[in-house]
Structure 1
């Protein structure tokens, strides 16, 4: 399936400048970032509900986006909810459990995404395209919280982020085997698919300011520092390097990944 055939690309784009002018010369303009357009629409806040585990986790996720994981504490979250921190421990044993619940909420939230399918109703390529864009929309909607998907312990040590929910891994593997993948080909696809998603999306959320530890890059705003003066080619191309082509790069890399998965399916079937 080409990027243009993917359902997400029928969505309106909120930032027309991201598309760029159409010309016959030069490089292709960046693809419209349909995932970002969907996320930007947002959803209306829900009505206030009594204190329970779901409300605590939901508020923690909102709070994380404001202060980052390092700024979250049970005391501060309790104050935000209008209760003492001790009241939270009736529902979550502590911060570690709370962060685990946040990760579970992020991944299970894809079930509410109407574009994501739990079974390959229109072929495995469409199935994986939709799943990949669903995970990317989660990442774009929760820039600060998404890195927790990589850092929190999974349900089983052999599961790989970001598809670390047993439910989604079951959907992934069962979906591919129902499409004629051997067990070995389905597992190989799971490994390459998750590596692709995690690498691309951690880099993308980091570019938006997420704290991902050693991989994080801080721009201090210095335009002409000593390091750049010693690297004239980098300095000359700095503006080009700083351009955001995340949507285009994600689409192109995803298409290449699907081609490799298709080839692996055939190779392992023949073997």
Structure 2
């Protein structure tokens, strides 16, 4: 016979278990997700961003997000109409992070090269801070079809173009610089975040550990140089490629 006061009932259902977990959290002095902090769009988007970085974009659902916040999924729809709107909001947060970066300038102060270098590094900091979410910047619909990621918001394109035009670029040279700058950043950063676990589709990189791919037997040069190919020189390559890009843009400034 069990000791006095010990229940012999079967295990509680999910709802009861959740209540017990909540009670235990209160005893530990923890804040309940929904009871202590009011639910709003900013909090929902922040939770979605955290989930993607922890578990990957493919696992994000409104139901799981609701569980993370301690509410029913239906409660989220009062603030976010649907998952597509949620993903767009995540992109807005990522782009907004650049505005909050004190190193990123909204207009050139020490020349256009310094202006673009600061902007490039600001975008890279966002990508490295949120590697699994960053591919959304490339995949979500832009505000206008002719905007290019990662500078895909009208505000940032206005900042970029007006900064260069104010530095002596013609309209044609500023547009050419915008295209080259975005292509460089997107290509480099998508490859870099793929090594940090981001899902970018066909370009995704998977480590095979110590197991050697049998296909390497038919590619002796690749097999011999594989250790060098696997070394991470992303930061150095970013700097060198950025310098080359700025040199090309300087030529465009003169020619166009």
Q: In structure 2, which of residues 170, 178, 185 is the aligned counterpart of residue 182 of structure 1?
A: 170
Query: RMSD across aligned C-alpha pairs, in angstroms?
Result: 1.3
Q: For residue 99 of structure 2, what is the aligned residue in structure 1? A: 111
Which has more radius of gyration? 2
User: Could you say which structure has the greater relative contact order, defined with CA pairs below 8 angstroms and 6 or more residues apart?
Assistant: 1
- How big is the shift at 1:222? 5.1
- Deviation by residue 1:177-228 (Cα, 9 ceiling, x = unmatched): 0001111110000000000000000000011121001111222335333211
Unaligned runs of 5+ in 1: 1-46
On the 8 A contact 1:176/1:186 being kept in 2, the answer is: yes
Aligned-partner Cα distance in 1 for 2:154–2:41: 21
- How big is the shift at 1:49? 3.9
Aligned-partner Cα distance in 1 for 2:213–2:231: 20
Q: For residue 71 of structure 1, what is the aligned residue in structure 2? A: 59
Unaligned runs of 5+ in 2: 1-32
- TM-score of the aligned structures, taking structure 1 as reference length: 0.80
Q: In structure 2, which of residues 193, 207, 214 is the aligned counterpart of residue 219 of structure 1?
A: 207
- TM-score of the aligned structures, taking structure 2 as reference length: 0.84
Aligned-partner Cα distance in 1 for 2:87–2:130: 14
Aligned-partner Cα distance in 2 for 1:224–1:193: 37
On the 8 A contact 1:49/1:55 being kept in 2, the answer is: no
Name whichever of 105-114 and 213-222 sits farther off: 213-222
Aligned-partner Cα distance in 2 for 1:90–1:121: 43
Q: For residue 226 of structure 2, what is the aligned residue in structure 1? A: 238
Aligned length: 222
